[in-house]
Amino acid sequence: MLPKQRFTGVRRMRRMACAIAAAALAIFSQACGRRTQARVPAPPRIGATSEGIASWYGDPYHGRRAANGETYDMDQLTAAHRTWPFDTIVRVTNLSNQRSVNVRITDRGPFIDGRIIDLSREAAREIGMIGPGTVKVRLTVIGFDRHTPQAAKENTDPARGEFAVQVGAFRDRERAEALRAEMERRFGKARVAVRQGDPPVWRVLVGRAEALIEAERLAARMREEGTDGFAVRVDE
């Protein structure tokens, strides 16, 4: 009987060792998951700053309707941003020469990955970026113009509104519709929005969220599944 008891004790010790190892592996996996989880940027507030590449736009958009309904005038101090509400006032500082200009958000864009703001020609001239075309800038949210009709209608909290993830922009509507169908199959909700112009641009938007942070989470999940995109405010 003694050899059998010794064998039974060894089996119990092995089972305990396996259980301990499995628990340790689970804790390690959870820790790794926390470390690799995509960071979600905090929504901007007055005084918040961000840095990135700025570009500018003039012709052929001069005289056309901007996303907020105004006529775009490249000689005014305005800008396009993907997510901040219309009539947000932003100080833009050219980090290569420290020149600054204050602009009002009236349009949506830029829809090129890696860029964070699209300035009017006059705003670009103010900070010396007409020649280079693109420069690294610092953006600082300094307030909201509450005296314009758009500001009176719109929620001035930059984190609230309607948001989606833009995954593509095409001059060919058929290509946009093909991508929309694929995104709808993979992520459940997608649509095509047109940006009027000559020619118009067809944007593919995925999801619908009431907070910027929700759209950023969706964009992070989509990147994990191999689809690049960025959060945008939807103004239609």
> What tens digit of pLDDT does each residue of 58-85 get?
988 898 888 888 999 999 999 999 988 8
- Res. 13: pLDDT tops 80: no
Which structural domain, as residue segments, surrounds residue 20?
Answer: 1-37
Does residue 42 form part of some domain?
A: no
Task: Give mean pLDDT, residues 98-115.
Answer: 92
> What tens digit of pLDDT does each residue of 181-211 get?
999 999 989 999 987 777 788 999 999 998 8
Phi, psi torsion values for 54, nearest 5 degrees: -105, 150
> What tens digit of pLDDT does each residue of 142-169 get?
988 755 444 434 444 666 778 999 999 8
**Residue-level pLDDT at 207:** 94
Does residue 43 form part of some domain?
A: no
CA-based angle 186:159:127, to the nearest 5? Answer: 105
Among 122, 96, 2, 115, smallest CA distance to 50 is for 115
Say if residue 57 is in the same domain as residue 134: yes
Q: What is the CATH number of the domain that holds 73?
A: 2.40.40.10
User: How many domains, in total, are found in the chain?
Assistant: 3
Say if residue 55 is in the same domain as residue 82: yes
Q: Rounded to two decimals, what is the model's pTM?
A: 0.66
- 106, 133, 153 - which closes a domain: 153
Say if residue 80 is in the same domain as residue 98: yes
